[in-house]
Chains A and B, each alone.
Chain A
Amino acid sequence: MFEAKLQQGGLLKKILESVKDLVVDGLWDCDGAAITLQGMDSSHVALVEMLLRAEAFEHYRCDRNVTLGMNHNHLSKILKCANNDDIVILKAADQNPDSCSLILESKNGEKTSDFVVSLVRIDTDQLGIPETEYSAHVKMSSGEFQRICRDLSQFGDAVQITCSKQDVKFSSSGETGKANITLTHSATVDKEEESVTVDLKEPVDLTFALRFLNLFTKATPISDTVTLSLSQEAPLVVEYKIGDSGHIRYFLAPKIQE
């Protein structure tokens, strides 16, 4: 039997909002330590990896490893019935389950809703994501990053990200004209979620499709900060921590000069 009880149902709502527009069906791998989800968009340009450790749950029981093929639209419909402060319980048999139960308990205990969602067969294999030493890490406000991606998509469909020692520049151009947004490395890190820290090993200059970045920033409500990791010959990584018990990591392949 797999059973996991989350005190703050709102977190699961946010996680679904973060993945459902990028990956319709995803494999939720549940083992004794954590729930991990990995899925690629249909064009294989972007990948999302979500990890939520057992410690995030009020109660977590996983007698045998089980993989739940979830349709994220169905799951999202159920979670739309949940309030942020509802308790959410996920339950599934651990011998090739064909469905998963979700129970929502209102905070005052007066309302209990239970749903059963059919699991889907997904035959995508898990990708091997190599450990990479990145040339640059940019940590910044997640709201700021969402704003930059939204504003720049008015000017073009791609953003060029260039990192130097002192700053990170986001540029986009199209028929409207050219836009550059430069963030300077914050000298003083007084309020972490408002400062920008650039950790640079060597300069990077990469271009990415804004359409995907604007899908990634749906995870903004999950964390005040976001970390971008960049290297010339590697996909961009956009990471949102889930408190200290997990993360949502997006990987995006760059656009390259012909």
Chain B
Amino acid sequence: SKRQITLSRFFKLP
């Protein structure tokens, strides 16, 4: 099945 990833991969967490 597919794994949920988080937004931190895309948006820089300052």
B5-A255 in contact (CB<8A): yes
Q: Nearest chain B CB to A238's CB is how many angstroms away?
A: 14
Q: Whose C-beta in chain B lies nearest to the C-beta of A160?
A: B2
Q: Is A37 positioned at the interface, with any CB of B under 8 Å from its CB?
A: no
* Also in contact, A257 and B14, with CB within 8 A (given A44-B8, A45-B7, A127-B7): no
Residues of A within 8 A of B8 (CB): 44
Q: Nearest chain B CB to A239's CB is how many angstroms away?
A: 16
Q: Nearest chain A CB to B8's CB is how many angstroms away?
A: 6
Q: Which of A44, A234, A256 contacts B3 (CB 8 A)?
A: A256
Q: Whose C-beta in chain A lies nearest to the C-beta of B13?
A: A127
Docked complex Cα distance between A43 and B3 (Å): 14
A255-B11 in contact (CB<8A): no
B10-A253 in contact (CB<8A): yes
* Also in contact, A234 and B10, with CB within 8 A (given A253-B4, A256-B3): yes
Residues of B within 8 A of A257 (CB): 2
Q: Is A69 positioned at the interface, with any CB of B under 8 Å from its CB?
A: no
Q: Nearest chain A CB to B12's CB is how many angstroms away?
A: 5
Q: Is A235 positioned at the interface, with any CB of B under 8 Å from its CB?
A: yes
CB-contacts of A36-57 with B (<8 A): 40, 43-47
A128-B7 in contact (CB<8A): no
Residues of A within 8 A of B10 (CB): 130, 234-235, 253
Residues of B within 8 A of A253 (CB): 4-7, 9-10
A158-B6 in contact (CB<8A): no
Docked complex Cα distance between A43 and B8 (Å): 11
Q: Whose C-beta in chain A lies nearest to the C-beta of B12?
A: A128
Q: Is A129 positioned at the interface, with any CB of B under 8 Å from its CB?
A: yes
Q: Is A125 positioned at the interface, with any CB of B under 8 Å from its CB?
A: yes
Q: Nearest chain B CB to A183's CB is how many angstroms away?
A: 23
Binding site for A on B (CB under 8 A): 1-14
Given A44-B6, A44-B8, A258-B3, 8 extra CB contacts under 8 A: A45-B4, A46-B7, A127-B11, A130-B10, A209-B4, A253-B9, A255-B3, A255-B5
Complex A-B: 25 CB contacts under 8 Å? A43-B6, A44-B6, A44-B7, A45-B4, A125-B13, A125-B14, A127-B14, A128-B12, A207-B2, A209-B4, A235-B7, A235-B11, A251-B11, A253-B6, A253-B7, A253-B10, A254-B5, A255-B3, A255-B4, A255-B5, A256-B2, A256-B3, A256-B5, A258-B1, A258-B2
